[in-house]
Amino acid sequence: MSIPETGSLPTIHLAPQLTSMLNRLESSTAVGKGPQLEDVARQFEGTFISMLLKEMRQTLSGDGFFAGDKTDTYGSLFDMFMGQHLSQAGGLGIERALLKYQENSLSARAAKNE
């Protein structure tokens, strides 16, 4: 799915965590907070990657590194850590895409107000 150049974010069904982060991202944009905007975008990407890893891990057979219900807590912690680590190391490009989208949105708003 491509991100539109201007307007509001596309409506898609997301986990509540991701939805609240997108709302924080939009509210940060309205105020124009640069560093906070980058932090929220990075957190969004980290959470997205964590959820992606969790879903991928659940497709594995029960005899893996984090197999069984007893160690699911460890698997979840591993997913969360890896998601945050991968997003800080450059991630999948979601952070950059969100920041570019918000930048274009701000430019469009400024041009509209002139």
Q: How far is CA 8 from the centre of its chain?
A: 16
pLDDT tens by residue, 4-61: 444 554 455 567 777 776 676 666 655 555 778 888 889 999 999 999 998 888 887 6
Supply the pLDDT for residue 1: 45
- Which pTM was predicted? 0.64
Residue 83's pLDDT band (boundaries 50, 70, 90)? Answer: very high
**pLDDT on residue 56:** 87
